[in-house]
Amino acid sequence: MADNASPDNATDIRTAPTRTQDRPTEVTAAGIARLAGVGRAAVSNWRRRHADFPKPVGGTETSPAFALRDIEQWLRDQGKLAEVPLRERVWQQLVGHPAGAAAALRQAGAVLLLAHDRPAAWQQLRAAADDAELTGVLPAVLDAVLAARLGPGHPVRGLTREALAPSAALIRATGDLAAADGAAAAYDFLLGRHLDANPRQYTLTPPGPAALMAELAAVAGPSGTVLDPACGAGALLAAAGESTAGEGDAPGTLYGQEADADLAALTALRLALGVPDAQVRVRAADTLRADAFPDLSADAVLVHPPFNERNWGHDELAYDPRWEYGFPARTESELAWVQHALARLREGGTAVLLMPPAAASRRSGRRIRADLLRRGALRAVIALPAGAAPPNGVPLHLWVLRKPGTTPPAPQLLVVDTAGPATGAPAGRDKPDWQSVRTTAVEAWRAFDRDGGIEEQPGVRRSLAAIDLLDDDVDLAPARHLPPPAAAGGPAELARVRERLTATLARTTALTPRPDAAAAGPARWPLTTVGELARAGALVLRAGGAGTAPAGGAAPAVLTDHDVIGGGAPTGALPEAPAPGPAEEPVLLQAGDVVVPVLGGGAVARVADDSTAGAALGRNLTLLRPDPAALDPWFLAGFLRGTANNRRASSYASTATRLDVRRLQLPRLPLADQRRYGQRFRDLAAFEEALRLTARLGEQLVQGLHDGLTDGSVTPD
C-alpha cells in the first residue's frame, strides 16, 4: 500500500512547488514559549505590550500560528533567543514544515542516518553545496544509504528533489544537531517529541514492558533474528537490540511490519540509528492480510498486537495456513496474532506477546488455547500490574510461547502474578516497580524453562500440568490458579493486629471531641478571601501538576488528590523528562503548607507535615503557603473545610465540581485567636486520622480471619 502511494505523493509535490516553498514555517504560542524558555503567559504579555510583535499568519483566533523566521528575528532583536537549545529550534522547524511533521521527520531522519553512516561524505557535501545544490544532490545519496541499511523495499519514501526543496534550512540544522548531540540521540529526541505530541494517534509500548519482553525472549541465548509483526514505533525491536547488544552480541537482523506507512518509515530510521550493528528490515503493510515476511523463520518474535480488533481479516483469511491451532473467531484477533507469531518462528524459537487479560478466558477462544497447551506451544502466562501499558487501568498479561519441535516438552504451563506482594511495589503507586516485576518474572521463567517445572510460591508463581487446565473454560488467568498467600502472617500477626486495633479504639474514644459550650448564634466576623490574602502577601498560591523526573535520577514522590482526600502518604510518581531534555522542576511541599483539592474533593484541606514535606504537588491540587507571622496553617485549613464556604466557592457549570480556591473565605482574627482555633482543628485532624486507622485495622483483621478460616491456618475455636 505504501509503494502505491509514494508516486502519487511525489506528483502532488511536483505540480505545486511554488505553493509549498512559499508557505512559511509556523510556530504556536507554546512553541514560542519553548524557544524563549518562558511560560505561555509571558508570550501573551509580549503580544499585548509590544506593537512590533509579529502578526499571526495562520491557526485560529484562540490558537494563532506565527511565522517562525519572524518570531526568531523578533526574539533575537529583544535579546531573548540567545540561550535557546539547538534541538528546540530544529523541532520548531520540523513541526512547522509545509509538508507536515511526519514527512519532515522522515527527511531529518534520513539526513541523520547519512551523517551517522557516512560522516565524511555528509560533511563534504554540506560544505561544498549551496541550498539548491544540496537538495538536488541529496536524494540520490540518501537513497543509497537507505538501501544499504534498510534493504530494497524500505518504507522511507518521498525523498525527491521537489520534496526536499523547502527543507534546506531544516537539513542544515539537523546536521548541526547531529554534530552537537550525535545522530542517534538527535533522532531519539525528535521522534520522542513527535510521538508525545500525538498521543491519540499512536499506541506505544512503554520501556519497562518492552525490556521485560525482550529479556524473556532472550533467556535461551542471544537471538540472531527478531521479528515484530506489529512494530509500531519500534520499542520492542529496540529493546531486543539493546538487550543482546549489552551482552556483546547484537541480533543479526531486526524485522518489523507496521500498517501505518509514515510510522513504519520513522521506525525503520529509529532502528537503523539506534541499533547500528543490526540489519534492519521494516515494511509497511497490514501483517495479517499481507505478510511481508512469509518465508521467515525467526529466532524470536515480540508483539504488542492491537487489542479487540474486529476488522482483522476474519472473512478473507478462513483458509490461511497460519491457523495451525484453530481458526480464530472474529472477536479473537489476539489469537490470530499468537498463531502468526508461531508461524514465523523457527523450531525452538520463543515468542512473547503482550495480551489483554480477556484473551486468557474468553469462551470463544477456548479451543485454540486448549490446542496451544496440548502441543506445548504456550509455556507461560505472566500477569503484569495495572499501569504497565495502555490501557493503564487493566492488568495486562504476557504470553510466552515456544515453537514445538520434533520432541515437544511435556505440556506444562507456568503462571506468574507480578502484581501481588512479591513485586515489592509500594501500595497505590502510580507506576509499577519494574525492577521487582522483572526479577519476579524472569527468575520464574528461567527456572521453569531450565527444569520443566518450578517450586510453587503462593500468590506469585506455580507450574501446572496442561491436562489440569483442559476443562470447559480453559481459563489461563494466573489469578485463577495461584493459591493465596498465607493469611496475613498467620494467627500471630492477626493477634498483633487485634492488639493495635484495641489500642486505637481506646485512643479514638479519648480523642472524641465534645462541642463544649454552644455560642448564642452564628458569629459575625469580618471576612476576607484567599485571593485577597494572596494579593496582600499573607500567603502564596501555587498550582500542582508540573514537573518531570530526571532521566535515571532520584525523584520525589507525588502527593495526589486521592492521597489528600484519603489522608494517605504520597503515592504518585513524576513522569520522566524527555531525553535529552532537562527535567522540569515540580512544586515541592514544605511543612505548614495547606493543600486543597480543586476537583471533586468536597470540603477537604490538609496541612503538610514532616512526613509529606519534600513531596511534589500533584494535579488538581492547589497549595497555599501562609506567612507564619500572619496566618496559622491549621486555622486556615480548618475554615477552608467549612461546607458553606466550599459551596460558595464551587462551580457547578459542568459535571465535575471545580473549586475556585481564591473565593474561599475566612475571618479576620488576631494571630492569637487563630492559634486557638488552629489547635482545635488540629485535634479534629488527629481524631479523623484515628478513625481512618481504626477502619484500616478492622478491615485487615476481618479479612485476615476470613482468609485464615478458609485456608485452615485459623481454627473456629
- Nine-digit cell string for 677: 482555633
How far are the Cα atoms of 349, 386, 509 from residue 352, in angstroms, in the given order? 10, 19, 56
Q: CA–CA separation, 573 vs 583, rounded Å? A: 14
What is the 8-class DSSP label of residue 283? E
Q: CA–CA separation, 12 vs 18, rounded Å? A: 12
Quick one: pLDDT band at residue 261, thresholds 50, 70, 90?
very high
Which residue in 603, 631, 618 sits closest to 540, CA to CA?
A: 631
Q: What's the pLDDT at 601?
A: 59
Is 50 exceeded by the pLDDT of residue 692?
A: yes
Q: What's the pLDDT at 199?
A: 80
Q: Among 98-102, 573-577, 617-621, whose mean pLDDT is lowest?
A: 573-577
Q: CA–CA separation, 399 vs 209, rounded Å? A: 12
How far are the Cα atoms of 560, 590, 678 from residue 615, in angstroms, in the given order? 10, 8, 24
Higher pLDDT, 365 or 91: 365
Is 60 exceeded by the pLDDT of residue 13?
A: no
Q: What's the pLDDT at 249?
A: 53
Higher pLDDT, 650 or 277: 277
Q: CA–CA separation, 262 vs 712, rounded Å? A: 60
Q: Which long-range contacts (CB under 8 A, 24 or more apart) does 246-253 make?
A: 247/222, 249/222, 250/275, 250/277, 250/278, 251/222, 251/223, 251/224, 251/225, 251/226, 251/275, 251/278, 251/299, 252/224, 252/225, 252/278, 252/279, 253/224, 253/225, 253/226, 253/278, 253/279, 253/280, 253/281
Mean pLDDT of the 99-126 span? 91
How far are the Cα atoms of 611, 612, 671, 706 from residue 684, in angstroms, in the given order? 19, 19, 20, 33
Name residue 703's amino acid.
Q
How far are the Cα atoms of 157, 648, 669 from residue 526, in angstroms, in the given order? 72, 17, 8
Q: What's the pLDDT at 165?
A: 87
12: left (phi over 0), alpha (psi -120 to 50) or beta: alpha
Quote the percentage of the chain above a pLDDT of 70. 87
Q: What's the pLDDT at 89?
A: 80
Is 60 exceeded by the pLDDT of residue 430?
A: no
Q: CA–CA separation, 83 vs 34, rounded Å? A: 11
Q: What's the pLDDT at 268?
A: 96
Neighbours of 36 (CB within 10 A): 21
SS (H, E, C) 33-101: HHHHCCCHHHHHHHHHHCCCCCCCCEECCCCEEEEHHHHHHHHHHCCCCCCCCHHHHHHHHHHCCCCCH
Q: What's the pLDDT at 6?
A: 35
Q: What's the pLDDT at 7?
A: 33
Is 90 exceeded by the pLDDT of residue 371?
A: yes
Tens-digit pLDDT profile for residues 707-716: 778 877 778 8
Which uninterrupted H or E stretch holds 621?
A: strand 621-626
DSSP secondary structure string for all residues of 334-387: HHHHHHHHHHTEEEEEEEEEEE-GGGGT-GGGHHHHHHHHHTT-EEEEEEPPTT
- Nine-digit cell string for 711: 485456608
Q: What's the pLDDT at 70?
A: 87
Tens-digit pLDDT profile for residues 468-502: 999 989 999 998 998 876 654 567 778 888 898 89
Q: What's the pLDDT at 422?
A: 40
Q: Helix or strand or coil: residue 670?
A: coil
Is 90 exceeded by the pLDDT of residue 128?
A: no
Which pTM value belongs to this model? 0.70
Quick one: pLDDT band at residue 431, thresholds 50, 70, 90?
low
Q: CA–CA separation, 12 vs 2, rounded Å? A: 16
Tell me what the pLDDT averaged over the chain comes to.
Answer: 84
Q: CA–CA separation, 710 vs 695, rounded Å? A: 23
The interaxial angle of helices 633-640 and 671-711, nearest 10 deg, is: 70
Q: What's the pLDDT at 423?
A: 46
Which residue in 206, 132, 222 sits closest to 169, CA to CA?
A: 132
Neighbours of 536 (CB within 10 A): 11
Mean pLDDT of the 496-525 span? 80
Q: CA–CA separation, 387 vs 366, rounded Å? A: 27
Is 50 exceeded by the pLDDT of residue 611?
A: yes
Q: What's the pLDDT at 330?
A: 94
Distance, C-alpha 114 to centroid of its chain: 31
Tens-digit pLDDT profile for residues 655-679: 446 788 888 889 999 999 999 999 9
Q: CA–CA separation, 412 vs 444, rounded Å? A: 14
Quick one: pLDDT band at residue 425, thresholds 50, 70, 90?
very low
Distance, C-alpha 602 to centroid of its chain: 30
As a 3-state breakdown, the chain gives helix, strand, coil percent values, each rounded to 5, of: 45, 15, 40
What number of residues does the chain have?
A: 717
Quote the percentage of the chain above a pLDDT of 90. 44
Q: CA–CA separation, 150 vs 163, rounded Å? A: 21
Q: What's the pLDDT at 94?
A: 86
Name residue 269's amino acid.
L
Mean pLDDT of the 211-224 span? 82
> If 0-12 CB within 10 Å is exposed, 13-18 middle and 19+ buried, where does residue 618 land?
buried
- Nine-digit cell string for 79: 535579546
